[in-house]
Amino acid sequence: MATIYFVVSWTPKLLSQMGFADSIGIYASLAMNVAGAIGCATFGLLTTRFAFRPLSTIAFLGMGLLVLLLGVVPARAGMLVAAACLAGLFLNASISCLYIVLAQSFPASLRATGTGIGLGAGRIGAVVGPYVAGMLFEHGFDRAATCTVLALPMLGAAVLLWAMPRDGTGAAAAG
């Protein structure tokens, strides 16, 4: 959630700090959220035809790679808005994955507790991600370096999800 909330909370501010009108940042945020709704619905439909785990891995990997892209895309409004829009597609799909992975990772007797603890940890990430971004910017990190640091949790999650055991236990067994 650190990566997700970094993108959601910092994209409009980054565009504003880059000299674009506030309306461009708001438009990028709007485009990201509309694309997010489309990405979430598309992910849901794809899970009816394809295995969940590979789709989830793609969602997490896509989000991480698109955060990297947000860091290096040239400072042109159209390109930044397009990158934010693409990130939005994977952003909400990866949130959907998180809830499903958590629920499927615990036996029925521990599912509510395990999912609750996992979601609580995600809320901590939702606070930490934007805070870390602010600290990185304050200490002289540029957009590319900050996006790289904050893409790492999502890329790491993609690797961990792919590496989950496939022995019939937990989320990995679903795909």
Fold of the 2-170 domain? Growth Hormone; Chain: A; (1.20.1250)
Q: Domain map of the chain by residue range? A: 2-170
Average pLDDT, rounded, for the chain: 89
Contacts of 57 (CB under 8 A, 6+ apart): 158, 161, 162
Whether pLDDT at 99 is above 90: no
What number is the average pLDDT over the span 162-170?
67
- In the prediction, which pLDDT does 172 show? 43
What number is the average pLDDT over the span 17-25?
91
pLDDT: which is higher, 11 or 100: 11
- How far apart, in whole angstroms, are the C-alpha atoms of residue 15 and residue 20? 6
Whether pLDDT at 53 is above 90: no
Tens of pLDDT, residue by residue over 100-133, are 888 888 898 999 998 889 888 888 988 999 999 9
Taking the model in full, what pTM does it have? 0.85
Could you tell me if residue 141 is left (phi over 0), alpha (psi between -120 and 50 degrees) or otherwise beta?
A: beta
